[in-house]
Structure 1
């Protein structure tokens, strides 16, 4: 997610900061990998982090801490020019002169540049999505306050400089936004209260250890200005922007396919992808019905699902319940030789940051690949809000039932996102550490949910207290798989006009076996995170890769070796991983 596991908000790849554009020297293919690495390093400093300093901080590069994205239209055009310049530079490096791994990095970098250009020039969220601004500046503060990579006074001083630029960012939003989709403005309004509260409460409480009087006084002033600017922005959204928010969020088939090709190196036709999605959906529905019948033959699958939804911890016990799963997961991974765990340090559980709660139920937030002073990773979980109705709370907590608690812990922590983060130091290049394909990142995490149960976790003595609970855990895993299947279908159908918003919500409920509350949140997310089909898509790619490796290696195949070798490829698209592991260009699906 790049900073892979929290939110694509941290990328802010289309919202930028001031400074020089790319250098203009010519590049030849002579020197091969050395030339490419030089250009790649230049790109990250001149463009990627230069125009996205929040992402620089998130990646552990603290020379960017005092900077904020320059959200002006003029600066966006400067970034577009810089991207085009580097596109030509990377194109000018002959891939045949590079080693296979470096040639793959060249393609990953080129695709990332083209994806960002597609976002800026065609998708244009800087003109369409008001939440990018309010949540963007909130994220910019969050990445400074969330972990103690430097003394409180040092970080607070940097935050003051960043906060001074935030009111102007919201002014640029007013200039840039043109006829956004109604749902985008609604989401921004839904989250603005959390953004304001974040600056009112969370940010000051994070710096209680600061001692420098001058810095504290400057912070009081800059923070108050940000709060006032956000409140004003929220009022403007409601009174001015919302009534004229009549735009279309749909990407359209051509843009959707291009983004999928650039981000994931998947060029399968969309109609074929829909066939694959429905096939997996129907397979999981049949498996759910089979296991539900074993749980209670007298009930329909929907009745068993309704019962499963009620078996969850109390909201105030949710974080500790997740924490309690770690020991058994770690022991199972080690004793069953699933994958090498590079560290014994566990992630820290905490509540999801306010700017993500409208569209995220759980996430992993590790330190960036270049962070050296604060290496703690956070497992974020969205708790019910204080003003929710009992019905809303019950719907929300149904997402954390006895089964999905396990699959979420597997997905986010062991052996999902957190273990992949622990492998980051072993990734072969800066490109593989910074840029990532979600079919790899989220595909891996989703793949592990089923893989762990298939290998025997979740049985009595390994995560379940009895046979009935073991079956409920399997149902929870399948329910999560159905959620991702529904994302797969909806992502294509929403953005090609085959589903309305309400039809997509209903599809999550009827075919994805989710509550209406979850369906609503998921559909909101899908309007902007258009290609969130990457969970199931990536899982299926990894399962095919594993099957192909088993066929190639026969009796010599070893699951832990397969998983360790997969990790060593970094966050690369599965097409790249396949080439490295199978040494051929066989299809990913």
Structure 2
């Protein structure tokens, strides 16, 4: 914990007055930029927009927002950052990445025009609402139900450039359970898609809150009408879903700030897939006389496995000086709920219900949930409010093999096999992400590829992943493996740089203290090596579609 505070204090080291004034200008610009991009028409507030949604409204607002970015870009470009301390230069590049991401969303992604799912995603949260409800909860539910019909009517006018893959995914999700049901309320038989969840809400209202029946029925009818409109218009919805090869590479470099091209990432991921597949074969040979670990047969058995795993992991992290666990980090729960499926466990459950440790280190401690607890206490104006996906997923994916190699799985030899299975799947995501965004593969082709490359991978998990990596901003699917490789490279750089003075715990503490920034920026701050960030100082125009 002392090192974390020491690293944070380096931000307060005295700098020349003129440089400090420039940095204050950066902080002001950052606040103004975030205020400027407060959602006026985004997925987060789409229900609140209600009847205002329509092509004219959306176009007017977004064209206005896009034009306004030029002033921010000019102000940022006028800052003379060469004399700034490295930590402040890193903050500057972080704001540049944020600004570039806003431009890409407004100029290229435009989900309000291209993706019906943009309007459907918030509807699930309404259908999940508890019934009966009272007080503020009831008022909020009624307000949201009332907003569904006008919002979906406006969406039809706004969706003028729908991509075929987006339309097919929306129709599928309206009528079918995704088969994974992560963070959905538990149902023994999951409702069939968004429409099914409105049927579920209607049944609960009929039983426990009949005064809501008319409002639920009206919302449900609007959802069904939207499905019917999509099916009718589907032959005309033929735009490409991916952003194209040149734009993909622009986004990777100037928003995610990964110093690689998509071709580079394809080569690296193929090598990682080969390496981990070979390692899995060797581990299975090593463990050939070890008994297989049985799947949990009940929620109680799984809870006991998770509790035992959590204790083992925390003891290892402290005892082996892997990372500092501050006193304020309490219980962090688990990531994969115990679900009994008629089809049997899915890919994640095949592993988690045998040994929870791969996902526990990735998603709980010292992975995502631990990461989030530290981030929640970060009050720095830029770093405390920024989170880059390849940093988050790269760190969490790095932990799987790092903890295995450092000795954290010696209590469970089969766990090493499961770590490799996770890595194999993550490596297979890279070609899926790249080729969907390049418009080389359809969603189904990406699903087929990932299943072919990954033992135990089922169709539902593969399809949900493919949808995420196509519909989110580009590069989320590559974040796991490529971020992990960036972490490996940073570890190598720092160990070589410090020699006998290198400490793994101090390395991890310093990395976490830097914030959830692109790993290339953290590398520059930690090591002083400037070869990667040299690619980020200038931002060229977004290339044309190819």
Normalised by the size of structure 1, how large is the TM-score?
A: 0.72
The within-5 A match list for 1:257-296 is 257-296=249-288
Deviation of 1:568 after TM superposition, in Å, equals 1.4
Q: Is the 8 A contact 2:47 2:122 kept in 1?
A: no
Contact (CA 8 Å) 1:432, 1:572: kept in 2 or not?
yes
Distance 1:294 1:256, change over 3 A: same
Deviation at 1:535, TM superposition (A): 0.6
1:20 is matched with which residue? none
Structure-2 residue corresponding to 1:43: 33
Pairwise CA distance, 1:577: 0.7
2:421 is aligned, of 466, 473, 479, to: 479
Asked if structure 2 preserves the Cα contact closer than 8 Å seen for 1:68 and 1:140, the reply is no
1:439 aligns with 2:390: yes
CA distance in 2, matches of 1:132, 1:120: 14
Indicate the SS of the match to 1:296: coil
Give the corresponding residue for 1:79: 62
- Deviation per CA, 1:32-64: give whole Å up to 9, x if none: 232222222222233234544838xxxxxxxx9
1:338, 1:559 within 8 Å by CA — same for their partners in 2? yes
CA contact (8 A) 1:458 1:473 kept: yes
Return the alpha-carbon distance in structure 2 between the equivalents of residues 68 and 444 of structure 1: 39
Find the counterpart in structure 2 of residue 489 from structure 1: 431
Secondary structure of 2:516's counterpart equals coil
Alpha-carbon deviation of 1:225? 3.9
Change (3 A) 1:99 1:230: farther
Distance in 2 (alpha carbons) for counterparts of 1:397 and 1:420: 21
**2:90 matched to 1:108?**
no
Question: Structure 1 residues 582, 527: CA separation in 2 closer, same or farther (over 3 Å shift)?
Answer: same
C-alpha deviation, 1:565, in angstroms: 1.2
- What is the deviation of 1:196? 4.3
Tell me if structure 1 keeps the 8 A contact 2:42–2:112. no
Q: 1:96 aligns with which of 63, 71, 80?
A: 80
For 1:513 and 1:47, locate their aligned partners in 2 and report how far apart those are by CA, in whole Å: 43
Shift of 1:116: 2.9
Which position in structure 2 is the counterpart of 1:580? 525
5+ residue gaps, structure 2: 1-17, 175-191, 536-546
Matched, 1:522 2:472: no
How far apart, in 2, do the equivalents of 1:381 and 1:31 lie? 50
Residue 268 of structure 1 and its aligned partner are, at CA, apart by 1.9
Does the aligned pair in 2 maintain the 1:443–1:539 contact within 8 Å? yes
Give the Å deviation of 1:174. Answer: 1.3
| Counterpart Cα distance in 1 of 2:159 and 2:216 | 25
Instruction: Check whether the contact 1:333–1:339 (CA below 8 A) recurs between aligned residues.
Output: yes
Alpha-carbon deviations, 1:321-368, whole Å to 9, x = none? 54553222222222222222333422345xxxxxxxxxxxxxxxxxxx
Max Rg structure: 2
Relative to structure 1, the CA distance from residue 515 to residue 438 in structure 2 (aligned partners, 3 Å threshold; closer, same or farther) is same
The answer to whether the Cα contact below 8 Å between 1:412 and 1:418 also exists between their aligned partners in 2 is yes
Shift of 1:397: 6.4
The 1:519/1:339 distance shift into structure 2, 3 A limit, reads same
1:542 has 2:487 as partner? yes
Distance 1:69 1:400 in 2: 46
Partner of 2:226: 233
In structure 2, relative to structure 1, the CA distance for the partners of 1:339 and 1:167 (3 Å cut) is farther
Q: Classify the secondary structure of the residue corresponding to 2:323.
A: coil
Count, aligned residues: 488
**Would you say 1:347 and 2:332 are equivalent positions?**
yes
TM superposition shift of 1:550:
0.7
Q: CA deviation at 1:424?
A: 1.0
Question: What residue in structure 2 maps to residue 256 of structure 1?
Answer: 248
C-alpha separation in 2, matches of 1:407 and 1:432: 28
Cα 1:175/1:514, change in 2 over 3 Å: farther
Q: Please list, as runs of the form range in 1=range in 2, the aligned pairs for 1:331-410 lying within 5 A after superposition.
A: 331-342=315-326, 343-349=328-334, 379=335, 381=337, 383=339, 390=342, 392-396=343-347, 399-401=350-352, 405-410=356-361
User: Judging changes above 3 Å, is the alpha-carbon distance between structure 1 residues 67 and 182 closer, same or farther for their aligned structure 2 residues?
Assistant: closer
Q: Give the whole-Å Cα distance in 2 for the aligned partners of 1:230 and 1:495.
A: 29
Q: What SS does the corresponding residue of 1:264 show, helix, strand or coil? A: coil
Contact 1:112-1:262 within 8 A present in 2 as well: no
**SS of the residue 1:457 aligns to:** coil
**CA offsets per residue over residues 295-325 of structure 1, 9 Å max, x none?**
238xxxxxx9xx97x9432475686354553
CA positional deviation for 1:439: 1.2
2:311 aligned residue = 327
- Structure 2 CA distance for aligned equivalents of residues 441 and 525 of structure 1: 16
Query: Cα deviation per residue 1:105-126 (whole Å; 9 max; x = unaligned)?
Result: 3332332232233233223332
Give the direction of change, closer, same or farther, for the CA distance of 1:204–1:402 in structure 2 (3 Å limit): closer
